[in-house]
Amino acid sequence: MADLRVAVIGTGIMGADHVDRLTRRTKGATVTVVYDYDQARAAEVAAAAGARVATDAFEAIRADDVDAVMIVSPGAFHAEQALACFEAGKPVLCEKPLATTAADAYRIVEAEAALAKPLLTLGFMRRYDPEYAALVASLRNGDLGEPILVNCKHRNASSGGNGSDRAVVFDSAVHEVDVARFVLDEEITGVRVILPKPGPNRANDIHDPMLILFTMASGRLVTDELYVNTNAGYEVRTEVLASKGIATIGLEVGRMTSHTTALTWGGGHVADFRPRFATAYDIEVQAWVDAVRRGDNIDALAATSWDGYAAAAVCEAAVEALGTNGAEVAVSLAARPSAQT
């Protein structure tokens, strides 16, 4: 079967990583077109992949030598680019967030509901991470009993000197929003944000650390402790308290090639999300290409536009909750189009 010809929109750190992945490791895919606002950067990435450079994102989406699209542009462009994919009838893997407002995300949900068949996969890669998979399996198979409470920790070595509280919510916390919904298999109905005194490492006056509390439809609690300037390393941990036991993923000790040197014992710590989730991205992108090639468009495990919209709605509520001194803000979701159910 011929390779899937993919256009990659956006060649920043993540986009370049995806072009490399598609070119060197993803079976059945060829990157044919690359677009970036920074055309020099696009040219460099395209050359390594043997692809051509498009001068316009929409031209790339519509191009005849493109069967499917990966959107890896800044979040604010996702909505228009995803809608263009729908118009062109092309399957699309859109990096998170689906959009930077809940309203934009819902436009995508509605537009997709009008299609004959859904086209959009949302890149919540943690669903493909082997550790998350094992955690979810231990819940689904009943080994751990009934889940009761979920703890998440999200730590970056550095937020890079830019950003805002809204960006931390939409770019970082959004992952735990999906983890909460995916692990517990239910919607989030309310959000609280607790803003302690920031630590001295914070950049750009953001509230860092930040504690976000999600109330699930069943009344369960999910906590998300965000600290994005640890000066230490990248770490994502999730712990599920369940009726028969407690399961934890993401402990760095669980990943180490250990060493003993002058009076210390330990191992290396990953610097950012790329090594931590490299395998998850590989599996996710392969699953997407496989699904598209066999005509399913979306892999059964993947997050969908609805997941992206629900996450955006929760993020909106969280941003509002930044100003309510810990009072809960309700999440109200628009109706889910029947085609999406």
- Residues of span 117-156 touching a copy of itself by CB under 8 A: 131, 134-135, 138, 144-146, 148-149, 151, 155
Segment interacting with a copy of itself (CB under 8 A) among 70-78, 96-104, 225-233, 306-314: 225-233
First-to-final CA distance of the chain: 31
- From residue 81 to residue 110, the character string flagging contacts with a copy of itself as x (rule: CB under 8 A) and all else as - is ------------------------------
Pairing of strands 329-330, 221-227: unpaired
Site for a copy of itself in 255-284 (CB under 8 A): 255-271, 279
CA distances from 292 to 97, 119, 129 (A): 21, 9, 20
Residues 17 and 107: their CA atoms lie apart, in Å, by 29
Select 249 or 292, whichever has its Cβ closest to a copy of itself: 249
**CB 185 → a copy of itself: shortest distance, Å?**
15
Q: Does 326 bind a copy of itself (CB under 8 A)?
A: yes
Among 48, 113, 115, 232, binds a copy of itself (CB under 8 A): 232
Print the SS3 string covering 282-326: HHHHHHHHHHHHCCCCCCCCCECHHHHHHHHHHHHHHHHHCCCCC
> At its nearest, how many Å lie between a copy of itself and the CB of residue 104?
30
Which one of 156, 159, 230, 304 is in contact with a copy of itself (CB under 8 A)?
230
Nearer to a copy of itself, 265 or 335 (CB): 265
**Which CB atom, from 42 or from 285, has the smaller least distance to a copy of itself?**
285
Q: Is 241 in the site for a copy of itself (CB under 8 A)?
A: yes
Quote the tokens at residue 61.
Answer: 């989406």
Single residue of 141, 162, 231, 341 touching a copy of itself by CB under 8 A = 231
d(CA 32, CA 165): 37
Task: Give CA–CA dist 129/144, Å, rounded.
Answer: 19
Q: Is 243 in the site for a copy of itself (CB under 8 A)?
A: yes
Pick from 109, 157, 206, 303 the residue near a copy of itself by CB under 8 A.
157
Which is it for strands 4-9 and 29-35: parallel, antiparallel or unpaired?
parallel
CA dihedral 158, 286, 64, 105 (to 10 degrees): -50
The conformation of residue 200, written as its DSSP 8-state character, comes to T
Number of residues forming the site for a copy of itself (CB under 8 A): 78
What is the length of the chain? 341
Query: Any idea what DSSP says for residue 205?
Result: T
Q: Can you read off the two tokens belonging to residue 139? A: 């819940």
- Give, as ranges, the residues between 180 and 219 that touch a copy of itself (CB under 8 A): 192, 194, 196-201, 209, 211, 213, 215, 218-219
- Cα 98 from chain centroid? 9
Q: Which is nearer to a copy of itself, 100 or 229 (CB)?
A: 229
Under rule CB under 8 A, which residues in 54-73 are in contact with a copy of itself?
none
Q: Nearest distance from residue 65's CB to a copy of itself, in Å?
A: 16
Q: How many CB atoms lie within 10 A of CB 9?
A: 29
